[in-house]
Structure 1
Amino acid sequence: MEYAQIEIYTDGGCSGNPGPGGWAYVLRADGVFEKEASGGSKATTNNRMELTAVIEALKACLSYNPKKVIINTDSQYVRNGITSWIAKWRTNGWRTASKEPVKNKEYWVALDTLNQQLPVTYNWVKGHAGIELNERCDSLVRNEMDAILRG
């Protein structure tokens, strides 16, 4: 099936940084179909979880054959990284402007690969601002972290 537009909200977080973390996304296809997914890791960072949420969401999009994908993230790190910084990182051999290795390179490479396969636009949304699907993602992330902390 083909969709005109898929809109996705993503979130990631950690209890401590590093520490137990969770990621989540909520996906709407043509404003109707909704899918959500989440997961976690015992030892991770906030940035890794934010990246994982977007990576997993885009993987899910591949089977929908969308004409347009909109990612809504409350992470400036993710939005700026994929829309501004990544081209220079690739050119510089995955090094920052200060010649340091890019942190979380394997996540950025995975995201870059998916980004090139789909027509993606990235929007930043303010976290904890009452945006329904962003709040849902935040709740899913907290559930994942709580599950890890409970053991």
Structure 2
Amino acid sequence: MASEEMPQVEIWTDGGCRPNPGPGGWAAILRFGAAEKELSGAEAETTNNRMELTAAIRALEALKRPCRVTLHTDSEYVKNGITRWVKGWVRNDWRNSAREPVANMALWQRLLAAAEPHEVRWVWVRGHAGDPMNERVDRLATEARRRLLAGAPPAL
């Protein structure tokens, strides 16, 4: 399918935990035209970085066909990892510059696979700086963590 024929989707993602490591939540908002879909989830023992990666993965995996995606994240770890570092990690058999195994390797591999069918433009946004969609997705991730701590079933 030619790029210009692919549906255009905007995604906002966030994840975090308190304390770090500890219980965490992730969330994503997908927008296609006027339609929106919210996704969220939580894990009892995780890290901020794992939740940020999970949000991006789950959002991209939710797409049913190849799309042109603008993915907004407030995680420099995710943005730099996917746009700068991952090529070197793959070339070096998933070793970082210190020749140690890459942290969260399985999640990075899953993110690469989830992004592969799409044309993804990765956009970093400053967190907690008043961006309405970033603030909204942050609230969803926080609520997912709170539901977990309260023993409520996770929302998807």
TM-score (norm 1): 0.93
Given candidates 33, 36, 44, the residue that maps to 2:35 is 33
- Indicate conservation of the 8 Å contact 1:55/1:111, yes or no: yes
Aligned letter for 2:11? I
**Where does residue 56 of structure 1 map in the other structure?**
58
**Where does residue 14 of structure 2 map in the other structure?**
11
> What is the CA distance between 1:3 and its match in structure 2?
5.6
Identity of aligned residues (%): 50
**Where does residue 83 of structure 1 map in the other structure?**
83
- Alpha-carbon displacement from aligned partner over 1:92-129 (angstroms, at most 9, x marks no partner): 01000110110000000000112221111100001111
Structure number with the higher helix fraction is: 1
Taking the aligned partners of 2:132 and 2:37, their CA distance within structure 1 comes to: 14
**Where does residue 106 of structure 2 map in the other structure?**
106
- Indicate conservation of the 8 Å contact 1:3/1:29, yes or no: no
- Alpha-carbon displacement from aligned partner over 1:21-49 (angstroms, at most 9, x marks no partner): 0000001113x111111000000000000
- Indicate conservation of the 8 Å contact 2:40/2:141, yes or no: yes
SS state at 1:117 partner: coil
> What is the CA distance between 1:64 and its match in structure 2?
4.3
Taking the aligned partners of 2:115 and 2:59, their CA distance within structure 1 comes to: 11
Structure 1 residue 42 and structure 2 residue 44: aligned? yes
Moved over 4 A (4+): none
- Paired residue total: 147
- Indicate conservation of the 8 Å contact 2:17/2:47, yes or no: yes
Aligned letter for 1:70? T
Q: CA RMSD in A?
A: 1.2
Structure 1: gaps spanning 5 or more residues = none
